[in-house]
With several copies, the nearest count.
Chain A
Amino acid sequence: MEFRNPQEPAETLSIRVRLFARYAEVVGRESFTFELPHPATVSDVVALMRARVPNGNLIPEQPLVAVNLQHVRADRPVHDGEELALLPPVAGG
Chain B
Amino acid sequence: MTGRSLLYSRRLPEGEVTFATRRPIDLPRLMECVAAESVGGTAVFVGTVRRGAEDGPVAGIEYSAYEEMLDAEFGLIVEEAASRWPQGRFAAQHRLGRVPAGEASIAVVAATPHRAEAMEACRYIIEEAKKRLPVWKKEIFDDGATEWRENPVKQADAERA
- A touches B in complex, CB < 8 A: yes
Residues of A within 8 A of B105 (CB): 93
Q: How large is the interface on B (under 10, 10 to 19, 20 to 34, 35 or more residues)?
A: 20 to 34
Q: How many residues of A contact B (CB 8 A)?
A: 21
Residues of A within 8 A of B115 (CB): 93
Q: Complex formed: what's the CA distance from A90 to B160 in Å?
A: 14
Task: Spot the interface stretch: B3-11, B26-34, B148-156.
Answer: B148-156
Contact in complex: A73, B64 (CB < 8 Å):
no
Is residue A71 within 8 Å, beta carbon to beta carbon, of the partner chain? Answer: yes
Select one of A21, A69, A88, A93 contacting B69, CB under 8 A.
A69
11 example contacts (A-B, Cβ-Cβ < 8 A) are as follows A20-B66, A69-B72, A89-B153, A90-B133, A90-B136, A91-B151, A92-B133, A93-B106, A93-B126, A93-B135, A93-B151
Contact in complex: A85, B161 (CB < 8 Å):
no
Contact in complex: B150, A88 (CB < 8 Å):
yes
* Residues of A that sit less than 8 Å from B by CB: 18, 20-22, 25, 64-66, 69-73, 85, 87-93
Contact in complex: B133, A64 (CB < 8 Å):
no
Q: Complex formed: what's the CA distance from A58 to B137 in Å?
A: 19
Is residue B94 within 8 Å, beta carbon to beta carbon, of the partner chain? Answer: yes
Contact in complex: A72, B129 (CB < 8 Å):
no
Identity of the chain A residue whose Cβ is nearest the Cβ of B62 in the assembled complex = A21
Identity of the chain A residue whose Cβ is nearest the Cβ of B151 in the assembled complex = A91
Identity of the chain A residue whose Cβ is nearest the Cβ of B134 in the assembled complex = A87
Closest approach, in angstroms, between the C-beta of A42 and any C-beta of chain B? 10
Interface of B is mostly: mixed
Q: Complex formed: what's the CA distance from A22 to B66 in Å?
A: 12
Closest approach, in angstroms, between the C-beta of A92 and any C-beta of chain B? 3
Q: What 5 A-B pairs are tightest by C-beta distance, nearest first?
A: A92-B135, A21-B136, A71-B161, A92-B133, A89-B150
Residues of B within 8 A of A18 (CB): 66
Question: Of residues A25, A64, A89, A90, which shows the largest number of chain B Cβ atoms within 10 Å of its Cβ?
Answer: A90
Is residue B84 within 8 Å, beta carbon to beta carbon, of the partner chain? Answer: no
Is residue B130 within 8 Å, beta carbon to beta carbon, of the partner chain? Answer: yes
Contact in complex: B161, A92 (CB < 8 Å):
no
Q: Complex formed: what's the CA distance from A18 to B149 in Å?
A: 20
Residues of A within 8 A of B47 (CB): 93
Residues of B within 8 A of A87 (CB): 66, 134
Residues of B within 8 A of A89 (CB): 150-151, 153, 158
